[in-house]
Amino acid sequence: MKRINIIKSILYTSTIVLGVSCTNLDEEVLDGVVLKETGGTVNTASLLKTANEGLRGFQDQDKMFALDEMSTDALVGPTRGGDWDDAAKWRQLHNHTWAPDNIEIRNAWNSLLSQVYNCNLVIENGTAGQIIEARFLRAFYYYNVIDLFGQVPYREAGSAVESDPKVWTRQEATAFVISELEAIIGNLPARIINDASLVNKDAAHFLLAKLYLNKGVFNAVDPAGPYTFDAADMTKVVTNVDAINSSLATDYWDNFKPTNNTSPEIIFSSKNVRGTSGGGIQSRWRMGMHYQQTPDGWNGFATVAEYYNRFNPNDRRIKNSDQYIINAFGNNVGFQVGQMKNGKNRDAEGKDKDANGVAYTNLPAGTINLKDRKGNLLIFTPALKLVISDAKAIESAGIRSQKYIPDEADLGAPENDYVLMRYSDALLMKAEAILRGGSGINDPVKLAQLVTRTNVAGTVPTTLAAIYTERGKELWFEGWRRNDMVRFGKYLEARELKTYVSANKYILFPIPADALFNANIKQNPGY
């Protein structure tokens, strides 16, 4: 019996998805999957679970997150002495100098399309309820392929796995995903209170709004523009946002705390269970944190000062200094700059035990100035270079970030669910769509709440420029920055650490080299 291992390795899976010829398909089945066409059965429940768990790929600091944020004006991964170079892959992303061999580009492609493959198996073999759920998940994964890569490989139902997938153009793929969502949305369940990780009707409306908002980009003859936004498409954005049954959380940080599943604002998420999953989300507090801090970090990524300086210093979205956070971690959650303090029961060197191995219990958190590993005061500075050679700056250069409130109970496998869609994003999409010609009326109360909960005096954004600025503040490090910069024509522009205008080809990422074994796929222009 011919058997196909779906998840033995990402590279092997991608060769199936992308149609790379494979002469030996008699692989050991590690997940119990045997194709029907070979006389066996398909464990669709297992595949659907895998497709849902695939959403955790967005939690990691690499793959889709790196492409969506590192390639923008917000996030940078500098080389720190001999650390964090990784064959220059992070600097390539920020500087727009990547090539088809950048491993994060390949991994993002493989990650997205391997889950499309799992969804396809469920769609061809599952129950009615499973099929509806899989069609939504496939649409979400396809959306990201459209956004990042343009062209999209696909398989017609019943096609042999040995055959090369066909390929949609960006326009064809966009039309397909819209038609899929509109076909299934009536059969999707309402969002369940306290668990937005389950596929739901509101999530479909959100994704449709996102597709219609970007349709002018996705349908453009030249991916780099100019873009034309059709008024009818913008009205579709408004209609879909109005159909979402949601509200804003009173506190911005309710969306990112360990119990964030209770936030009414989260429309769709990737579920984590303390102690058993969620390892990737720890990157949101470890990727830039210093080794001596609480939680201890990896001393890597940083925020570009130019981006940080757009915020009011008192904006609660970048500085949650609630006392319980200071008591537990020593420093605010959000962006961190300046002198870092000790965390709970830690001394200036970040140690939690004295020389005799006795645990500290009488060190007030947030009161003792932390030091780096060489004994210098640990002061995070805005000044930043892509290659840092100064011994002191290696550990201190760059503003650091924590988008999620660390889970004290388990810092490595926390309870925080990962937010994929938020109602604040939907409200800003609607406001933008109306300014681009869509028919509809904004909700002044909700938009006012969006502004007032920032804890700074502000006004509701009423221009496209103001919407763009507000999206950068509201949605920092949530995976939308590249998408926004492209749509507003800002992505290729010069900025603080990339002092030149990028070539038009960088508006899309290249197709990874191993995918080009499929004769139906052509490399994106310019690569």
CA dist 208 and 235 (Å) reads 12
Here the tokens at position 517 are: 């074994």
Contact 146, 191 (CB under 8 A): no
Here the tokens at position 253 are: 């940080």
One domain, residues 274 and 379: no
Strands, DSSP E only, in 72-209?
Answer: 75-76, 79-80, 152-154, 166-168
One domain, residues 487 and 498: no
- Residue 372 counted as domain residue: yes
Burial class (CB in 10 A: 0-12, 13-18, 19+), 36: exposed
One domain, residues 120 and 60: yes
One domain, residues 260 and 165: no
One domain, residues 117 and 207: no
The pLDDT, as a whole number, for residue 21 is 28
What ranges in 249-388 are assigned the alpha helix state H? Answer: 283-286, 305-308, 323-329
| DSSP code for 417 | P
Domain assignment of residue 322, given as a range: 290-401
One domain, residues 8 and 113: yes
Q: What is the DSSP code string of 382-409?
A: S---SEE--TTHHHHBSBEE-SS---TT
Residues in the chain: 527
Nearest partner of 278 among 409, 167, 183, 428, judged by Cα? 409
- Residue 418 counted as domain residue: no
Residue 369's DSSP bridge partners are 341
Pairing relationship of beta strands 79-80 and 387-388 according to DSSP bridges = parallel
Here the tokens at position 518 are: 């499929």
The pLDDT, as a whole number, for residue 161 is 74
Strands, DSSP E only, in 277-332?
Answer: 302-303, 319-320
One domain, residues 10 and 83: yes
- Residue 252 counted as domain residue: yes
The pLDDT, as a whole number, for residue 19 is 34
Provide the CATH number for the domain around residue 231: 1.25.40.900
Domain count, the chain: 3
With the C-alpha atoms ordered 427, 208, 110, 223, is the resulting torsion angle positive or negative?
negative
The pLDDT, as a whole number, for residue 361 is 87
Count Cβ atoms below 10 Å from residue 179 Cβ, excluding itself.
Answer: 11
Here the tokens at position 290 are: 């210093």
In the predicted model, residues of the chain with pLDDT beneath 70 are 1-40
CA dist 235 and 429 (Å) reads 11
Nearest partner of 470 among 448, 492, 486, judged by Cα? 448
Sequence-ordered list of residues with C-beta below 8 angstroms from that of 209, at least 6 positions apart, any chain: 236, 237, 240, 241, 426, 429, 430, 433
Q: What is the largest CA-CA distance in the chain?
A: 71
